[in-house]
Amino acid sequence: MLKNIPAILSPELLKILMEMGHGDEIVIAAGNFPAAANEMSANAFKTIVDIDLLGTFNVLRYCYEYLRKPGASIINISAPQAFIPMEMQAHVCAAKAGVDMLTRTTAMEWGPEGIRVNSLVPGPIEGTEGMKRLAPAGSSSAQRVIDSVPLKRQGTVEDMANAALFIASDIASYINGAVLPVDGGWGLGGAGQLGQSLAEMAKLAQKPGM
């Protein structure tokens, strides 16, 4: 029986945990927003740390008993900002770097019990809320995104799903504590360049009269 599950977790997750009582895989993801460090309040910074880092910890911590068995797999969704500094993303870089270290440390601590913990790092994924806002389909920004990826395309939700299915499967049973980019090579250079361009666009958008 699962006990001491905090109310901060969503009612849907609580319902699943209490009804099923056990499981094999769980995927943990959270989003963010752009903001300049010198214009961001401590509360704004804390909001992303709470959502991305503390939120990931809460789900990890309170799903532990639910997944505590050989063959279980936890997948955290990270971001390139975990290892690539980007303007307007200081809060995200800090939080996502923390998520990757949570991945590695829990992989070490829980590995002896048969629980694997890994991170997936998505590149630009078409159709997601972030890409709709930053680079709408058909826009010059969308083309810039495509040009920044070595494979010359945006990823799809199927690309992410396939990577998650692989990591969760028995085929990947010896993969633990990995941080796997699913980005078409974007993190090799294009992510930083595009991040700078998007930061400039965000700064312009925030100027009065723009």
Give me the pLDDT at residue 1, please: 44
Which of 15-29, 30-44, 176-190 has the weakest average pLDDT?
Answer: 15-29
96 assigned to active site: yes
Neighbours of 186 (CB within 10 A): 26
Nearest to 101, CA basis, from 61, 57, 44, 46? 57
Catalytic residue among 73, 96, 119, 141: 96
Q: Using the predicted structure, report yes or no on whether residue 126 has a pLDDT greater than 50.
A: yes
Quick: pLDDT tens for 97-113.
999 999 999 999 999 99
Active-site hit among 73, 78, 141, 148: 78
CATH of 11-124+157-184, one of 3.30.420.40, 3.40.50.720, 2.160.20.10, 3.40.50.1450: 3.40.50.720
CB 131 within 8 A of CB 145: yes
Global pTM? 0.83
Domain ranges of the chain: 11-124+157-184
pLDDT in tens, 167-189: 999 999 999 999 999 999 998 87
Per-residue pLDDT at 3 exceeds 60: no
